[in-house]
Amino acid sequence: MVRSPLLHGHPDLYGPIGSVPLATLSLLDGAVMDRCSREYKEAKSKYDRERYTALSDEGLAERRRACANIHLRRKYGVSLDDYEALLAEQGGCAICGKTEKEEGRRLAVDHSHIDGGIRALLCYNCNRGLGHFQDDPELLRQAMVYLEGWKCY
């Protein structure tokens, strides 16, 4: 009988091709495990932890770069190389100047919600701030006047 790995090639979880419903897994000993069961989730969690810790720092960095590249291409139509070139040009957040190192993560790609064009890279707070003001310059001006009136900065 031909056997095929299910679930990301988990070494302990196999099922015969065409004989196991998608909602179940067949273990090597013949037992069937429901994907919603606690045992399945624990086995999957254990496998994922072991696989993650087995990755070298170099392999993990390579995987993160690949995932970032896929995300940027799908969402904004740019590569990770384009992102890094823009980051090198900007040096940090286009508004406050915070770097990725200070931010503890990649900067957000600020883009127009009208045409999808990329404007700049922003830190989390600046990007969220613009979003909360609905990318409206007049609303931001009113907020600035309000803050300056209170001298609370």
Q: For residue 31, what pLDDT is reported? A: 57
Helices (H) and strands (E) in the chain, counts: 6, 6
Q: For residue 119, what pLDDT is reported? A: 95
Q: Which helix (H) or strand (E) holds 110?
A: strand 108-111
Which tokens belong to 145?
A: 């006047």
Using only C-alpha atoms, the chain has a radius of gyration, in whole angstroms, of 24
Which tokens belong to 15?
A: 């099922």
Give the chain's domains with CATH numbers: 3-54 (no CATH), 79-150 (3.40.1800.10)
Q: What is the pLDDT of residues 48-72, one digit of tens each?
A: 888 777 777 778 888 889 999 999 9
Range ranked top by mean pLDDT from 29-33, 94-98, 115-119:
94-98
3-class secondary-structure state, position 151? coil
**Residue 27: pLDDT over 70:** no
Phi, psi dihedral angles at 119 (to 5 degrees): -100, -50
User: Mean per-residue pLDDT for 31-35?
Assistant: 66
